[in-house]
Amino acid sequence: MAEEFVPPSTLADTKDCGGSTTGTKRTDLKFISYSTTGDTSYPGDACGRLVHGNAQIDNLQVNQTCTATTFQGTINQQAWKGFDIKHPNKKGQRLRHICLEGPEAGIYVRGRLEGGDNRIILPDYWHGLIDPNTITVSLTQIGSSQDLIVDKIEWGKTIYIKSGNASAIDCYYTVHASRIDGEPLIVEYQGETPAEYPGGSRQFSISGYDYDARG
């Protein structure tokens, strides 16, 4: 429908549909009751969307606390950030993981060095996205002790590894870095709710609290 939905100013402005065909529409900042069956008196300039106090659409339930722009309710009070999916190889089961947390907006890349290769070439998209001074490298030797060392990092793009005992390099690696495309995270601050965060919040949303891009 082409018309834009305008939510009521308060829930008291709406009439509980109760699953029937009656409801309310907006005209001149007022809400009037109407029936969708044989209603010829409804103003033509009113919003063309129904406003339901209670409704169920397939598996979506709306219970007098949902509008077009604001969600009110309880979502994950512990604020753990996770996902829940169908199990990839066990029928009738699901898989749930919780996201790793940290005091920065960080990214990583991982892989393996073998066959004489001693260079970790970082992705092109890291340039301008991360602070090169925050790059850290973790190495896991495979097969034997190789006394591995980060020799140098060139231009934040290539990491050179060397073996302190001249062994052939065979290792797994993980490289982390902090992003620079936003203001630094303020990890600790005074306040009772996330609304008192002293920095901007446009670059992220807070699980269990805020799903708007405000800042």
Q: Looking at the DSSP assignment, which residues form a beta bridge with residue 175? A: 109, 137
List C-alpha distances in Å: 131 to 81, 119, 127, 176, 177.
25, 20, 9, 10, 7
Most confident segment among 73-87, 118-132, 179-193: 118-132
Cβ(101)–Cβ(187) under 8 Å?
no
Greater confidence (148 vs 83) lies with 148
Q: Are 137 and 109 in contact (CB under 8 A)?
A: no
Dihedral (Cα; 150, 140, 145, 168), 10-degree rounding: -60
Top-confidence residue, 125 or 49? 125
Q: In terms of pLDDT, which residue wins out, 43 or 117?
A: 117
Encode pLDDT of 153-175 as tens digits.
Answer: 999 999 999 999 999 999 999 99
**Is residue 117 pLDDT above 80, yes or no?**
yes
Above pLDDT 90, what percent of the chain?
A: 43
pLDDT tens, 164-204? Answer: 999 999 999 999 999 998 888 899 999 988 888 898 877 77
Quick one: pLDDT band at residue 67, thresholds 50, 70, 90?
very low
Say how far apart CA 170 and CA 149 lie, in whole Å: 12
* CA 87 vs CA 12, 29, 81, 160: distances in Å: 44, 49, 19, 39
Q: Is the pLDDT of residue 6 over 90?
A: no
* pLDDT for the residue 91: 94
136: confidence class by pLDDT, cuts 50, 70, 90? very high
User: Would the pLDDT of 76 be above 80?
Assistant: no
Strands (E) located in 52-122: 54-57, 60-63, 82-86, 94-98, 106-113, 119-121
